[in-house]
Amino acid sequence: MNTATNQPPHDRRARTRKEIKQLIAERNNVLSQYYNLASQADQNPKNSEETLELLQEFCQDLVDYLATGHFEIYRRIEEREERRSDIMQLANEVFDRITATTAVAVAFNDLYDTSEAFNPEVLNELPEQLSKLGEELAVRIDLEDRFINTLLCAPATSPQTTAGAAS
C-alpha cells in the first residue's frame, strides 16, 4: 500500500502544499525564460549562440515543470489514489486538457532540444512555435490554478470518503 494513503490528512496536506510551491516556482521560472526566449527570438531568430543557450535551458526547465505537475500533483489522480470527490470531479473536467497541453510542450521540447541531432533550420519557426506553446501554457496555468485552489480548499474528508467510512 502506498505510504501517502497511510499518512494522516495533515501530513498529506503539508506535502501537497510543498509540491504546489515547487510547481509554482518552476512555473514562474519557465514563464520568465519563455519571455526572455521570445524576446530573443523576435530580435534574432537565426542560429545565434545566445538563442541556442536560452532554448536549451528553457527546454530543460519546461520538462522539469511538466514532470513536477504530473509526478507530484497529478500522480494521485492518474493512479486513482485521490479520494476527495470535489478534486476528482474537477480532474474529470480538466485532466484531459492538461494532458493535451503537456503533449504540445513535449512536442516543442522534442523539436527544439539542442542536445541531440538538432536541426538549426527549425529556428526559423521559433517565434510561431513559441506563440503556440505560449497559448497552451496559458491554458495549462488557468487549469492548474483551478486545480491548486481546489486541492488547497478541499476538506480532508469528502462525502465519498465519509460514506465509505460509515459502511
- 165 domain residue, yes or no: no
Residue 80, Ramachandran bin (φ over 0: left; ψ between -120 and 50: alpha; else beta): left
Residue 166 pLDDT grade (very low, low, confident, very high; cuts 50, 70, 90): very low
Closest CA to 52 of 132, 104, 112, 131: 112
Does 138 fall in a domain?
yes
Q: Please tell me the distance from the alpha carbon of residue 6 to that of residue 14, in angstroms, as a whole number.
A: 14
Q: With 60 as the cut, is the pLDDT of residue 167 above it? A: no
User: 74-96 pLDDT, tens per residue?
Assistant: 877 777 777 888 888 888 899 89
Give residue 159's pLDDT band: very low, low, confident or very high (50, 70, 90).
very low
The sign of the dihedral angle between the CA atoms of 140, 120, 55, 118 is positive
pLDDT tens by residue, 13-64: 788 889 999 999 999 999 999 999 999 887 765 657 888 889 999 999 999 9
For residue 81, what is the domain's CATH number?
1.20.120.1370
Share of residues in the chain with pLDDT > 70 (%): 82
Q: Specify if 42 maps to a domain.
A: yes
Average pLDDT over residues 4-18: 71
37 or 114: whose pLDDT is higher?
37
Q: Show the domain range for 23.
A: 9-154
Total domains present in the chain: 1
Is 45 domain-assigned?
Answer: yes
Q: Tell me the average pLDDT of the chain.
A: 83
